[in-house]
Amino acid sequence: MPELPEVETVRRGLQPAMEGSKILKAEARRKDLRFPFQKDFVARLEGQTVTGLGRRAKYLMADLGSGDVLLMHLGMSGSFRVLDDHGSGTPGQFHHPRSEDRAHDHVVFHMSSGAAIVFNDPRRFGYMKIIARQALEEEPLLKGLGPEPLGNEFDAAMLARSCFNKKTSLKAALLDQRVVAGLGNIYVCEALFRSHLSPRRLAATLSTKKGEPTDHAGRLVTAIHSVLNQAIKAGGSSISDHRLTSGELGYFQHSFQVYDREGEKCQTGGCSGIVRRFVQNGRSTFWCPKCQK
């Protein structure tokens, strides 16, 4: 499933075509995706200007002139592509075809910018929902989400407070969207490796008995910032379904230092360890047992 860097990459690709542009026509070509579309879904979109296109955790959020917000989630296989007036995109150097079956083009936004924004989702795990902005704080899909890992409020002190007295593993804590929003399996593995912290370490070790951040918390926050920013710059990671809006592949997967590198030599300078894999909370964890403590 796309994680924060992939969703942020998609947001940046959609922004020039959507932000400041009016939705002249909206098409919902089926009654549902993962969830049914609202009965007034199309009516609440048509004629509305997209005043801003943001992201919260793994959600895209389009602010509309009406005061509504269009919440969009890519699910497992969802992707957007931007078509010009002639119905063609402009694929770049890393272009690979996504789903070629146009039967999976489930939602289309025709914009006053001249672009058509097409949402294709073969597995239909993605979803869209329109929410009144004043109701966002109580929206079940968003309520309880933790801080944005690239936001100003996310620092070692906040992470230490969130992990204070937690009995879970450090990896499980970081995957908990209430602790920090938007992180997934790939970037948690990478951040733990860069900070030389074991995924099996207790989350509580990020704070002292008084709730103050330890050195581990500081190193981990720095690693999270580093890996996310690097991944966004690279267009995210294309493991199976992720593509940019132009059809290009993200290429951060070529920079993985530990994820999916089972049996390879550890990339930490001076370490003779071998990357291992084990299943943790139902997910594959990749780590170096020698330098991650």
Q: Which residues are part of the catalytic machinery?
A: 2-3, 58, 283
The 8-class DSSP code of residue 56 comes to: E
CA atoms within 13 A on the CB side of 33: 27
| Of residues 292, 275, 285, 261, the one with CA closest to residue 195 | 292
Integer CA distances (angstroms), 257 to 17, 198, 205, in order = 35, 15, 24
DSSP string, 62-91: EEETTSEEEEEE-TTT-EEEEE-TTS----
> Alpha-carbon distance 175 to 132, whole Å?
28
Name the E strands within the chain.
23-28, 50-56, 59-64, 68-73, 79-83, 105-111, 116-120, 127-132, 276-280, 283-287
